[in-house]
Amino acid sequence: MLFKGGAHVERLAQVKVVAFDKTGTLTVGKPLVTDVSPLDGVSEAELLATAAAVENRSEHPLAQAVVAAAHQRSLDIPEATDLQAAPGRGVTARLNGQMVYIGTERYLQDNGYAVSRALLEQIDSLETQGKTVMLVGDAGAGSASAGRLLGLIAVADTLRPEAAQAVAGLKAAGVERVVMLTGDNTRVAEAIGAQVGIDQVEAELLPEEKLAVIKDLVTRYGQVAMVGDGVNDAPAMASADIGIAMGAGGTDVALETADVVLMASDLSRLPYALDLSRRAMRVVRQNLAFALAVIAVLIVSTFFGVVSLPVGVVGHEGSTVIVVLNGLRLLRGR
């Protein structure tokens, strides 16, 4: 763990709420394609290759999962142009003269696509399993309403093995509330939150909405820590009292913004960091109280002639040694 200053140790000791990003923080950030369901006579290969062509230039973990799945199947990925992203919703690009839309159910519907009841039920089933669903549709040469849905692709990320234990450890350490902030679908987020033991799930958030949630938590509870790894998490981390970044897989922006960095991206270190900060502050208060008490006793004793000046100096320096030894007790914590 890297603390970027003593002030951050002090503030971490006062944290009452810990907020987590989901992808790359509570999960390993390496999602895999689990389901490819084509529609309207489209083959799985055609659906996956079309999606990969649009997602090929994106660095988003979900996009990389689609591209990786296409490569694993040795599919030819065509070149897409005019890429436009709608953060937290989806992406569009031009492929072979047609606009292709990939994103959430709401994003496709907003662009004129009709989603059948059967498809909605399939989406609900996949999201209940904690999978993120992306719909794929082409718009033909005209508007989106003239196009067709090509199918859906479901992607699932893997929870970090230590995530549930870390959340339980934070609660045992006295954290009042553990919150998850994500741009993912509500049902997916709630499924992940239930597995980890999250108290409050805030889903389908844009980066600025994550920031608003953090500000609200600060207003309601006081000291808040935000744990994240991506560019989208940086504003929320900066707004929180303590920003904590995942060091191994975090973006440069997240690492620069953070006050504390988990160098190995090991969430199990969070309860230890909180406990260490609180023990450090207890030792500081003990040392201050002891030092002030010794000084007060020496001053009074000197005025009344009970203690000579040389003995007073020895007593003062001896108290300094005791303060140092008391501080060294922190090395026993592991």
Catalytically active residues, by annotation: 21
3-state helix/strand/coil string of the chain? CEECCHHHHHHHHCCCEEEEEHHHHHECCCCEEEEEEECCCCCHHHHHHHHHHHHCCCCCHHHHHHHHHHHHCCCCCCCCEEEEEECCCEEEEEECCEEEEEECHHHHHHCCCCCCHHHHHHHHHHHHCCCEEEEEEECCCCCHHHCEEEEEEEEECCECCCHHHHHHHHHHCCCCEEEEECCCCHHHHHHHHHHHCCCEEECCCCHHHHHHHHHHHHHHHCCEEEEECCHHHHHHHHHCCEEEEECCCCCHHHHHHCCEEECCCCCCHHHHHHHHHHHHHHHHHHHHHHHHHHHHHHHHHHHCCCCCHHHHHHHHHHHHHHHHHHHHHHHHCC
Calculate ∠ Cα 79-80-85, nearest 5°.
Answer: 145
CA 112 to CA 109: how far, in whole Å?
5
The answer to whether the CB of 302 falls within 8 A of the CB of 294 is no
Query: Which residues face 55 on adjacent strands?
Result: none
